[in-house]
A and B are shown apart, each in its own frame.
Chain A
Amino acid sequence: MALAVLISIIAVGMLVPVGFIVSVGFDVGWSALAPLIFRPKVLELLTNTLLLVLIGVPICVVLGVGGAWLVERTTVPGRRVWAIVLAAPLAVPAFVSSYGWVSAIPSIGGLAGGVLIAVLAYYPLVYLPALATLRTLDPALEESARALGLSPFVVFVRVVLPQLWLAISGGALIVVLHLLAEYGAFALIRFDTFTTAIVAQFQSTFAGPAASALGVVLTGLCLVFLISEASTRGHRRYARVGSGAARPAPRASLGVFTVPALIALAGLAITALGVPGASLIHWLSRGQPWAQPELPGALGQTILFALGGAVATTLIALPVVWLSVRHSGRLSRVLEGAMYLASSLPTIIVALALVTVTLRLVPALYQTPATVIIAYVIVFLPRALVSMRSGLAQVPVELEQAAQSLGKSPFTSRMRVTFPLMAPSIGAAAALVGLGCANELTATLLLAPNGTRTLATQFWSVSSSAAYSNAAPYAVLLIALSIPAVTILFANTRKKLPT
């Protein structure tokens, strides 16, 4: 009961940004809000954002599923290396990728530029879950379909693809949410979306009604996509019936398509990794970018914020995960759902909400590290929940009961059995959250105290003034910090088949 109360309080705290959007509607009133929403600028932003999603997401799906299929289900040469190379762009923050392209081709921009940057930065969000699902599919299903006379292509369409649906729709939704929330990547190439416009409004008018009106539309758009994805899941069952065959599926021979497949993979690697990498090497060789005096301070502050965000988020995730796994029920599902909803809102909305709430209710918290950490918790809590929930779910309650039957109190049983077994998942959660915090730009720009310099904000301030050479060391450090998180994510897709 006490646990449920604690988590209800956490859920209410997490829902502050949602409350903010609702209160904006009431405060400003429809008569004031309507002219701010129904104007040509908003239509342009809506068109840009929708086109970005409608063109970018299908391309991400094709690249993600196609890449996963090539490395997991075909005999394409070097597939182990390609499996890693295809996941590697996740280690390059979207705004760093954008910097690489815009510094190489200054004229890049517009919808085509936005789609290019978005696809190259975010297709791995579809690739990784598709790869993980392909590895765990029961090969007996495909064999049964072949035995019923279906060709390999038809088997892929009628048997494999439906089983990949959750991975594809889930991955696509995450891409959509990233596209709605992304600021730095699109601002660098001067492609206007709702988020870039909100930040611009915020910087010119502070938390004025225009920024809030755009926030209402952006939140509405976000909810439309969330509901659409949820409604496509339906009641179909995708889990294995029984344990399935404990062997990997056979690989298809590509034959004459081997060379085109290799060219496609190489092309993707060059555009996603090669161009930003070459730009970085180019700019690092200009002048003495590593000699910037702000560099060590930015690294130190980034690590402090990342540590703070990781510790706070992990601590808050622990009781939520406990309730969800050990006391699963309607209440736990509602509370957890509220947290996911809050986290799916674009970061700019979370930041605007916290600016408003701190200014109105707790001015002492305004522009303090504590507010930044709260934003990180709201934004990154699902990362911790997903990792820690699977960790706790793998510690059967029978182990705690066995410890208690050996004379250990419930507290001691958890300290000596449950938490040591959960430690890897807690560590992975902390790493994923910490590295998300290290790369975070929008909320940190809006909420951090004056004078704060993280790698992301410092990179942003230097690169937006076209000092590309000075921005390069920050980009390199951001990529280096991202590598452990991507390694963890990739390792999760390579887990052994269940037996």
Chain B
Amino acid sequence: MTSLTLSGVSKSLGNQPILHNINFSLQPGTRLALVGASGSGKSTLLRLIAGFATIDAGSISLGNTLLSSPSEHLPAHRRGIGYVAQDGALFPHLTARQNIRFGLPRSAARDGRVTEVAELAALNPDLLDRYPHELSGGQQQRVSLARALAPQPRLILLDEPFSALDTGLRTRTRQAVIDTLQLAGTTTILVTHDHEEALTFGDSVGVIVAGHLEQLGTPSLVFDAPDTRELATFLGNALLLDAQAGAHPASVLTALGVVPVWHDRTAGATGGRTLMLRPSQLTVNVHQDAPNAEIVSFLPAGQYARVTLRLSDGTRIVVPVPATTAAGLAPRDQVTVSVLGGGVAYPSI
């Protein structure tokens, strides 16, 4: 098992900078999810690691092997890095079995390895003699994963492999892939534009914005304590409330009252504060003595209703409320909103 190290990796296409000074290390057997908007450079980063493109600055190493630097470029086929493309990139003229066998050297043990990785990827043996067009999208992705795993690569790269699948199938396939990778113990990098996918896939999550790796950490750290307001909103619904310094240094005063600051991202900046809370941290209570919000409207959405509230300072926020609670609410009702836990403080803009 070897670790992947990127040091100061930069890449431009023509005069257009795509990636700037990317640094990170990935420990053996771990999974990293890189999330970013379309055009952020995340797929380019994957292609640089795979060896499909050269880097302009920095270096990429796998264990003691230098893969890429501005003067060195180990070709893709000598890197021992598996790659699963967005649509699986199965060879259409080969059956699933032949696809999986493609990267294996000719030997008596080859068919045994095919069976082994097919089992690992939870592929029914009946599917192995079908052609890609005879398989469903989820099955194709599992064949693609089995094909990439078969030669026992040192690292596997997954380039938005679930994006073409519909919602239910995407969740099931993603879980199957995670289980397979966990069993195989293969170091993996996934790129995706879906923050939920990133947060559920990896041991760690990196957020790429406009070619910069803005934050890298565990999923809970990145979600609960984003480094910037922009990351906070990118990674999911975020409530941004005006705040003033509280009586206690680890708290702020907001329209919802005094709220603990669990992560301070103000870095000593003076002036006002903005507090970020996740909507799931709020609960709405009716029939309380000290209401601090008024219901503006609510929109039923299955198990939860999306309730729009106006706070005492006029700020409007949208909070998910269980449908059973929402059933007793009406516009103009006065309610009390409580905060569970603490928030993240940023300097005001």
Contacts and interface: CB of A to CB of B under 8 A. Distances in A.
Contacts of A420: 93
A467 to B, nearest CB: 51
B89 A396 contact: yes
A415 to B, nearest CB: 13
A413 B80 CA distance: 15
Contact of B83 (A401, A409, A410): A401
Given A401-B50, A401-B76, A407 B89 contact: no
A392 to B, nearest CB: 14
A370 interface: no
Interface string A368-402: 00000000000000000000000000001011011
A269 interface: no
Contact of A407 (B52, B77, B85): B77
A401 B85 contact: yes
B187 to A, nearest CB: 15
Nearest to B80: A407
Nearest to B78: A407
Nearest to B105: A407
B52 A401 contact: yes
A161 to B, nearest CB: 35
Interface in A399-421: 399, 401-410, 413, 416-417, 420-421
B32 interface: no
Contacts of B76: 401, 404-405
A382 to B, nearest CB: 27
Nearest to B84: A402
B92 A405 contact: no
Main secondary structure, interface of A, reads: helix
A408 B77 contact: yes
A420 B102 CA distance: 14
Interface residues of A, number: 18
Residue from B77, B102, B144, B157 whose CB has the most chain A CB atoms within 10 Å: B77
B82 A405 contact: yes
Contact of A417 (B51, B85, B91): B91
Contacts, number: 66
Interface string A74-114: 00000000000000000000000000000000000000000
Contacts of B79: 405
Nearest to B100: A406
A171 B86 CA distance: 38
B92 A398 contact: no
A167 B327 CA distance: 61
Contacts of A416: 102
Interface in B102-119: 102-103
A375 B299 CA distance: 73
A409 B148 CA distance: 16
Interface string A417-438: 1001100000000000000000
B126 to A, nearest CB: 24
Contacts of A396: 89
B89 A404 contact: no
B77 A405 contact: yes
Nearest to B144: A402
A396 B81 CA distance: 20
Contacts of A402: 83, 85, 89, 91, 144, 147
Interface string B36-79: 00000000000000111000000000000000000000011111
10 contacts: A401-B89, A402-B85, A402-B144, A402-B147, A403-B91, A404-B76, A405-B148, A406-B151, A407-B103, A421-B91
Given A408-B103, A421-B93, 15 more contacts: A401-B50, A401-B76, A401-B83, A401-B89, A403-B77, A403-B102, A403-B103, A405-B77, A405-B81, A405-B83, A406-B148, A406-B150, A407-B78, A407-B103, A409-B77
Interface of B: 50-52, 75-83, 85-87, 89, 91-93, 102-103, 144, 147-148, 150-151, 153, 157
